[in-house]
Amino acid sequence: VEKKRLSHGHPNSGRKLKFLKVDLVTHREYLADENEQSEELLMQLEKQVESMRGIMCNANYDLGQVKTKMDMTYSHRQRIIKENKLIKEILELYPALSVTTIFIREINLHCDPHYGDIAQALKSNCSKLVKALDESGKENIDEEEKPFAVLEHIIMKRFKHSKKLLLNH
């Protein structure tokens, strides 16, 4: 009996242990870069965008399907953003961005690919600017408002327009 228990892997065991073979999975990037996507996918971007718009028109759309389409058209949205299109035009092309969860997911993709806190991502990405805000005695900004001051500074530096014009757009 003792010999049999030892052959099963444990002295108190009455049956053989089952061993599962586990394969290690390599880390895969969440979204493929535009140059890494297949040509077929790139050729079908417009078709994917149209398909997504059709899905969003339906009241009972599948959120998983919409997220998949958003992932496929990521490089297209990147190009649109670089072209400085109006937000209204982007929302017409991608009505899924009007869904709060998808919009927050999109912000996180651009700010922090690990789905962290947007404010924390702003702080870490703009640490020099935060340090400059700390050192300048001119502005008295509390800790919670700091990321928004950084964001405002980046927007003003990028677009060089008045705040009212930016807020109206």
pLDDT of residue 75: 75
User: What is the C-alpha to C-alpha distance for residues 48 and 72, in angstroms, rounded to an integer?
Assistant: 8
Dihedral (CA of 124, 125, 128, 132) sign = negative
56 contacts 96 by C-beta, under 8 angstroms: yes
109 contacts 31 by C-beta, under 8 angstroms: yes
pLDDT of residue 24: 56
User: What is the C-alpha to C-alpha distance for residues 162 and 10, in angstroms, rounded to an integer?
Assistant: 74
- DSSP category for residue 22: -
pLDDT digits (tens, 9 = 90+) for 153-164: 666 665 555 555
pLDDT of residue 7: 64
pLDDT of residue 97: 75
